[in-house]
A = this chain, B = another copy of it.
Amino acid sequence: MHVAHDLPGLLVVDPDGRPYAALPASDLVRMLVPGYIQEDPVLAEVIDEPHADRLCRALAGRKLLDCLPVGKPFLPTAAPDCTAMEIAELMARTRSPLIAVVERSSSGPDRLLGVITATHLLKQLIQACGSPD
């Protein structure tokens, strides 16, 4: 689970390991909120903690796929030769906390090389600038 690594979200891959969707942590949290509360937020106030635990347990059998948005999934990707500025521009434009780095292949499936988070990018740029953290 992403929480063990304090990541800002999950990159979901398909059964062949190809990147499929980027799920920000706030979207993962949405999985915990029943539809009737999303429609009427005031109802959240009347659910006490034990009830919240019960709702959480009810998630146990659900798959991540059930929680992905319908239609074309949101997946900002970049090529391995992208510059830091291109990554920053993509991240700022999509407001995504993570970008999948993907190697395109003309002969086979695209290959996931890694994930860049906003925090990781800022860290790298601060180091490149030589300023103290």
Which residues from 113 to 129 on chain A have a C-beta closer than 8 Å to any C-beta of chain B?
Answer: 117-119, 121-123, 125-126, 128-129
A66 interface hit (Cβ, 8 Å): no
Contact: B33 with A88, CB < 8 Å? yes
CB distance from A51 to the nearest CB of B (A): 8
Partner of A88, one of B3, B29, B126: B29
Contact: A85 with B122, CB < 8 Å? no
Partner of A133, one of B1, B48, B126, B128: B1
A92 interface hit (Cβ, 8 Å): yes
Docked CA distance A94–B92 (Å) = 17
Interface of A is mostly: helix
Chain A interface bracket (under 10, 10 to 19, 20 to 34, 35 or more):
35 or more
Q: Which residues of B contact A72 (CB under 8 A)?
A: none
Q: Which residues of B contact A47 (CB under 8 A)?
A: 83, 85-86
A-side interface residues toward B, CB under 8 Å? 1-4, 6-8, 24-30, 32-33, 37-38, 41, 44-45, 47-49, 51-53, 55-57, 59-60, 83-86, 88-97, 117-119, 121-123, 125-126, 128-129, 131, 133
